[in-house]
Amino acid sequence: MTKHAAAVTDGLQLDLPCDLAAVRPATEALREYLRSRGCSDSDVIDCELATAEACNNAVEYVLPAAKDQPVRLEITTTPSEIEIQVGDHTGGFTLPEKPVLPDLESEGGRGLFVILSVMKSVRYERGESGNTLVMIRERVRD
Amino acid sequence: MRIDIQGGTLKVSEVRELGASSAGELKDKVRTQLGDRQNIDIDLGETSYIDSCGIGTLIGLRKLVANREGVVRVLNPQPSVRQILRLTQMDRVFEIVNNPP
């Protein structure tokens, strides 16, 4: 994992190897960053979870030709919001308007539900050299 | 991670995390050691993190024992883990028990 903290003013930017084992260290770094910014426990827990889900998806569905490309994670905070961006090199997906929980017996398909449930707004930007999931959380006080 | 046998129940404890990169280990160990036991208790008292992959693993284990009319119980989840179980409605799927006898 490579840190580029200087690249984003007052934020944190990480480049993760496209590997599930790299996701937890990255979300732990996010947790420490959010704590250093005075975020509440609720904000930290929910952002850590949503970021893990987004990064897991970015790794699991990466295009074969892009496996050597990093997953870029950017986090910034303001007094009222937390913004997290996760770049991916997948074929992309359609973001549902509302969180939809899959069948209770399903072993997968809950990642986007979790993200949409804990974030104030989520958008998915498609690009020629990769896509970006932008997640915005309204900060709450514990 | 620790696995104990208690009669017809296989008990898993000392699980630090249950995420995409760690859930596979739990699944493999349980499958290897379950034998002909019916039930699985998963103690999440020391689990500080779970994600949707971890939840998927719990569902997979539930299906494994459902074929033999067994159940999976989730024991002692910490508040942050309990919150995710509730968010994903897993509290409707699993019996969640605090401080079992």
**Does residue A46 contact residue A36 with C-beta atoms inside 8 Å?**
no
Using the Cβ of B7 and the Cβ atoms of chain A, whether some distance falls under 8 Å is answered with no
Contacts (Cβ under 8 Å, ≥6 apart) of A117: A99, B87
Residues 6+ apart with CB under 8 A from B86: none
CA distance A7 to chain B (A): 29
Residue of chain A minimizing CA distance to B66: A105
Provide the 8-state DSSP code for A39: -
Helix, coil or strand: residue A86: strand
Structural tokens at position B55:
């939840």
Question: What's the predicted TM-score (pTM) here?
Answer: 0.91
**How many Å is the Cα radius of gyration of chain A?**
14
Which residue of chain A is at minimal alpha-carbon distance from B20?
Answer: A20
Tens of pLDDT along chain B (101 residues)?
999 999 999 999 999 999 998 999 999 999 999 999 999 999 999 999 999 999 999 999 999 999 889 999 999 999 999 999 999 999 999 999 998 77
Give the distance, in angstroms, between the CA of residue A22 and the centroid of all CA atoms in the same chain.
13
A1 in contact with B, Cβ within 8 Å = no
Report the alpha-carbon distance of residue A42 to residue A68 in Å, rounded: 34
- Answer yes or no: are the C-beta atoms of A10 and A55 closer than 8 Å: no
- Written as six digits, the tokens of A19 are 């590997």
Full pLDDT tens readout for chain A, 142 residues: 655 543 445 799 999 999 999 999 999 999 999 999 999 999 999 999 999 999 999 999 999 999 999 999 999 999 999 999 999 999 999 999 888 999 999 999 999 999 999 999 999 999 989 999 999 999 998 7
Out of A21, A104, A114, the one facing B21 most closely (by C-beta) is: A21
Contact present, A14 and A27 (Cβ < 8 Å): no
